[in-house]
Amino acid sequence: MGSAAAALVAMLTDRLLTPGAAATLEVSGTTNAAVLVPLYEREGEIHAVFTRRRDDLRRHPGEISFPGGRHEPGDADLVQTALRETDEEIGLERTAVSIAGALRPTPTIATGYAIYPFVGVIEPDVRWTLSPDEVASVLELSLRDLRSGYGRRRLVRRGLPIRTDTFVVGDELIWGATARILQDLLERLPS
């Protein structure tokens, strides 16, 4: 790990929950899942890595999310779930991630997941290998742009109007559980 990545890990560790403490927090949801919040620093600016889900998926089609998924019986813990799923979805190997800590778990409203987010630091300029079954693209967005794109918006989902936290960068809309996870991260970091 380079010196910039090591410094980012040190800064984040002081501001995040420990993975063990986060895993003990209860959240509504019938299925445990975990996501990785991959961060890297380039030219003094922190970036987050997201996936855009394929449009033909049954759950959350076309939405922007952090890489992750359901906890499987073979996973030692939820951190391992996040790392396994990230490797499967975008080809980011476990050994390329330094876990800095965790964020508060959050539920998904429509699908009943309890999502446990873990923050990992990676080096910039990773070459992504996308799962053709799940991921349409990878987005790398600066935290500065995400902060400036925050707003509460009225969206219509499944025919129902909702007012929710959102982040918009260019044409990209982040909302729902991913927006809640991102909001928790941004509240913990200096502007």
pLDDT tens profile 141-152: 999 999 999 998
Residue 9 belongs to a domain: yes
Tell me, yes or no, whether 79 lies in a domain: yes
Percent of the chain at pLDDT > 70 equals: 96
Region 36-54 average pLDDT: 95
pLDDT attached to residue 150: 94
Name the band, by pLDDT with cuts 50, 70 and 90, for residue 120. Answer: very high
Contacts of 105 (CB under 8 A, 6+ apart): 22, 25, 26, 27, 114, 115, 116, 117
Q: How far apart are CA 1 and CA 22, in angstroms?
A: 25
Is there a contact between 53 and 135 (Cβ–Cβ < 8 Å)?
A: yes
| C-alpha–C-alpha distance, residues 107 and 162, integer Å | 16
pLDDT value at 61 more than 70: no
Please indicate, yes or no, if residue 167 is contained in any of the structural domains: no
Domain of 69 in residue numbering reads as: 3-144+174-188
Of 141, 183, 113, give the one whose Cα is nearest residue 52.
141
117 lies in a domain?
yes
59, amino acid identity: R
Which of 67 and 27 is assigned the larger pLDDT?
A: 67
Predicted pLDDT at 154: 82
Give the whole-angstrom CA distance, residue 186 versus residue 191: 8
Neighbours of 37 (CB within 10 A): 28
The number of folded domains in the chain is 1
Specify if 158 maps to a domain.
Answer: no
Taking residues 6-17, what's their average pLDDT? 95
Domain membership of residue 161 (yes or no) is no
157 in any annotated domain:
no
Decide if pLDDT at 59 tops 70. no
- CATH number, domain of 44, equals 3.90.79.10
Report the C-alpha gap between 122 and 82 in whole angstroms: 14
Q: What is the pTM of this model?
A: 0.93
pLDDT band at 60 (very low <50, low <70, confident <90, very high): low
DSSP alpha helices (H): ranges in the chain? 3-13, 19-23, 78-90, 143-148, 176-188
Task: Give the residue from 67, 18, 39 showing the smallest Cα distance to 144.
Answer: 39
The 3-class secondary structure across 77-129, one letter per residue, is CHHHHHHHHHHHHHCCCHHHCEEEEECCCEECCCCCEEEEEEEEECCCCCCCC
Mean pLDDT of 66-78: 95
What's the pLDDT tens digit per position in 124-141? 999 999 999 999 999 999
